[in-house]
Structure 1
């Protein structure tokens, strides 16, 4: 090994302490991109004609128009700014894969990795003269495909065709979305038009894109602006509480692909048991499936074996998978439209429940069934949780684990049973795994259930290995059963029913997949 000097008098050390190059510019020090006039002329010439456009109207376009119209009715005369968002830094100069803001995706139908730095604006017009008779005209502002005679074509790692492939043209995007599309360079002037104390008010979705928020803040000068932005975010969230036909179709597709992923995981359980980090085998199997068949996973996969199943959001997934223990798999595929499933099954690693495991599992299943029974039109969202908790409290009482009766424990001021299930039973599901999260309590927790609502039912019981208030036989057992539920006109539908829930059915299903 050659000697490495660290004396401060060396040229390298002197350079490091006296450089005037800003830190922000130093990422380019590694670059050896050509830039001579000769190269530029050569690289921008000699290209054949582009193939004809293959853009077609998206299957969501008719539905997104209705969604925008419903939003328009709540904000007459106001300009609504809904950014797609931008890339988020993972580390140094590398970014996470782009995912558009959920409100942007919901109103445009653009999913997958579309369309970084784009902005949807609903411009107010005379009531009834806008899109589909609404009070707004929607315009999508984006950076389109650049010509091959431009520097962007070969030198821009964010937008350049050499780097990220051919981007859609303005015409392509307008065809796909059914929304008037303009160059993003026109955005600032469009946002500022007719803005003033007695003119148009501008609202922007908070937290979606800091750069766009800064532009809007410069344009408007009112102390109440931030409060109005929150109202817009709230409305966009509540707009998704009841799913339309297209959204329900997307949810069915996401769940179906997720079911396939669970089957792949079961087939890989023998390999997981042989690996030092078998939980990673489980996670990798499901994540690989999600990337092959969808966009990605809808949230970080929980692959929790043994004691790890008692940690509600266990995502380290670095543990062993042992025969005789349970595997709690909480996972969902997010398809290209960004709609995601959210399903949990707790499986005996070797395909057969022990007596105690089955006892705990059956209690959780009974709680889930009780929740299903009340998840019908006319009931309140909070009733779903209450029904599950009655079963959980009763079963814990029967096992002698509560210091009081089940009825006493269910008192809001007691809640002893919640020691072993501290989470809620349900949450809305859709384009976000915890969809509609900014909705008001009266529209969510206290809401009357309606056909078209989609949410989870996911009771559980979790007995940690060091819990001295439970008998030894229960310690280290964690069970959760989670299904995705659609409220229908006459009851509900379990969208994830293709995955067995009954313990006998689970064992038979696993035997079939494992060939045992």
Structure 2
């Protein structure tokens, strides 16, 4: 992504700030076992503002009544580190790459930030981060607050993440391009799984087929831990064991996707292990698909999320009544939350740099946000009918179905970014048997 885009994001964040200092920290390394770490993944807020992908770095934004200033703290080049782990960009490389006012050595951060904080009254940080660098900044601010002879000192510590994530809620054309690429690769992976699935395979073998597509297509990482759930396993919403054998006559629910340049995709498809839906499976699947299509059709600018969620639950409750799983009037059933037993999760979530983008769902007054052009969200209705639930008609027991797509809100309504992935019963059976 062009450096101009990161510069513009910082400018917009500074516009939202009062006078003061904002500090955004990179993600720390995460230990996996003893002296080995997980593959590094940058803090999404930090990346959003500068595009820098190294750890042990900080972005500092300064705003006064007359000017703004941006500082990027990075690790200096170290030959020994380069030998073992690869060269860092270093101060000179960062100066050439990034459109910031100053690049400084992270080793000088503690002393530098104390001097900066002496001149300002507002500090913007992630209030809930456990970053040692942010803790040091808070401690420095508190120490200055109690010092004598300081004309100006930090009087308020504010949450910077709400401001950043309000900006992140609206995706630019460049961001949509990254998401499209992630979805295109994910589409190939889901189709590969459909074509390769056979009874007697293990769930992890289907996961491996998808991982091969991700890696061979240049997507280094999954966007989240893959769910490959055969049969009744689909009724465990966050099933990630992926170790059991797929059985003839069962469905398999796959919730798996990759990220591209840190931008996520998030796709779920449910299909028959043997390539042919049974009559009972077909009945439930058709209901879930009909709900999803109706919900997607309702997405357009101006629609409030609280209405949208209620609408999706009404449709799912109607579907459960039609299938004979619930009986009674919809209003009574929903008031008692009877439908939640079989459709327990929300209809969707924001998606972007994080698969569950932590962007606000309500405004500063606590009112639900209305959809607007540039927002991207998942739509993922599901019906889950456990094998041991004797209140469910026997023919449906053990069926778990979720269908998930990624939707962009447009000025005219919406665009299903993942519409190329087989989804109708005919499309899925053709793909499975192709």
Calculate the TM-score normalised by the size of structure 2: 0.92
Q: Which residue in the other structure is 1:306 paired with?
A: 231
Q: 1:227: how far off?
A: 7.7
Highest Rg: 1 or 2? 1
Aligned match for 1:228, one of 146, 157, 173:
157
Q: Tell me the alpha carbon deviations over residues 404-438 of structure 1, each in whole angstroms, 9 at most, x when there is no partner.
A: 2123223xx3221111010000100000011025x
Q: 1:401: how far off?
A: 2.2
Q: 1:239: how far off?
A: 1.7
Q: Which residue in the other structure is 1:122 paired with?
A: 61
| C-alpha distance 445-461 of structure 1, shift in aligned 2 (>3 A) | farther
Tell me the secondary structure at the aligned position of residue 359 of structure 1.
Answer: helix
Q: Which residue in the other structure is 2:339 paired with?
A: 417
| C-alpha distance 209-145 of structure 1, shift in aligned 2 (>3 A) | farther
State how far apart, in whole Å, the 2-side matches of 1:262 and 1:86 are.
32
Instruction: List, as ranges, runs of 4+ consecutive aligned residues in structure 1 with deviation greater than 6 Å.
Output: 223-227
Q: Tell me the alpha carbon deviations over residues 269-306 of structure 1, each in whole angstroms, 9 at most, x when there is no partner.
A: 13xx344xx11111222234333421301110000110
Matches within 5 A, 1:356-435: 356-410=280-334, 413-435=335-357
Q: Which residue in the other structure is 1:172 paired with?
A: 93
| C-alpha distance 244-408 of structure 1, shift in aligned 2 (>3 A) | same
Q: Does 1:104 align with 2:46?
A: yes
| C-alpha distance 308-445 of structure 1, shift in aligned 2 (>3 A) | farther
State how far apart, in whole Å, the 1-side matches of 2:103 and 2:282 are.
57
State how far apart, in whole Å, the 2-side matches of 1:488 and 1:342 are.
19
State how far apart, in whole Å, the 2-side matches of 1:226 and 1:369 are.
51
Q: Is the 8 Å Cα contact of residues 372 and 384 (structure 1) preserved in structure 2?
A: no
Tell me the secondary structure at the aligned position of residue 409 of structure 2.
Answer: strand
Tell me the secondary structure at the aligned position of residue 432 of structure 2.
Answer: helix
Q: Which residue in the other structure is 1:456 paired with?
A: 378
| C-alpha distance 298-362 of structure 1, shift in aligned 2 (>3 A) | same
Aligned match for 1:142, one of 74, 90, 94:
74
State how far apart, in whole Å, the 1-side matches of 2:51 and 2:4 are.
9
Higher relative contact order (CA 8 A, sep 6+): 2
Aligned match for 1:316, one of 217, 241, 246:
241
Structure 2, gaps ≥5 residues long: 147-152
Q: Which residue in the other structure is 1:342 paired with?
A: 266
Tell me the secondary structure at the aligned position of residue 368 of structure 1.
Answer: helix
State how far apart, in whole Å, the 2-side matches of 1:208 and 1:332 are.
27
Q: Which residue in the other structure is 2:279 paired with?
A: 355
Q: Which residue in the other structure is 1:253 paired with?
A: 181
Tell me the secondary structure at the aligned position of residue 234 of structure 1.
Answer: helix
Structure 1, gaps ≥5 residues long: 1-58, 130-135, 147-152, 155-159
Q: 1:445: how far off?
A: 7.7
Tell me the secondary structure at the aligned position of residue 283 of structure 1.
Answer: helix
Q: Does 1:188 align with 2:110?
A: yes
State how far apart, in whole Å, the 1-side matches of 2:339 and 2:49 are.
42
Tell me the secondary structure at the aligned position of residue 441 of structure 1.
Answer: coil
Q: 1:216: how far off?
A: 0.6
State how far apart, in whole Å, the 1-side matches of 2:433 and 2:116 are.
68
Q: 1:355: how far off?
A: 0.7
Tell me the secondary structure at the aligned position of residue 433 of structure 2.
Answer: helix
Aligned match for 2:14, one of 66, 69, 72:
72
Q: Tell me the alpha carbon deviations over residues 120-154 of structure 1, each in whole angstroms, 9 at most, x when there is no partner.
A: 11122444x3xxxxxx32221111322xxxxxx23
Aligned match for 1:485, one of 407, 419, 432:
407
Calculate the TM-score normalised by the size of structure 1: 0.78
State how far apart, in whole Å, the 1-side matches of 2:319 and 2:128 are.
44
The number of residue pairs the alignment matches comes to 423
Matches within 5 A, 1:188-227: 188-196=110-118, 199-208=120-129, 210-221=131-142
Q: Is the 8 Å Cα contact of residues 234 and 252 (structure 2) preserved in structure 1?
A: yes
Q: 1:489: how far off?
A: 0.5
Q: Is the 8 Å Cα contact of residues 396 and 417 (structure 1) preserved in structure 2?
A: yes
State how far apart, in whole Å, the 1-side matches of 2:107 and 2:10 are.
23
| C-alpha distance 461-108 of structure 1, shift in aligned 2 (>3 A) | same
Q: Which residue in the other structure is 1:45 paired with?
A: none
| C-alpha distance 105-199 of structure 1, shift in aligned 2 (>3 A) | closer
Tell me the secondary structure at the aligned position of residue 427 of structure 2.
Answer: helix
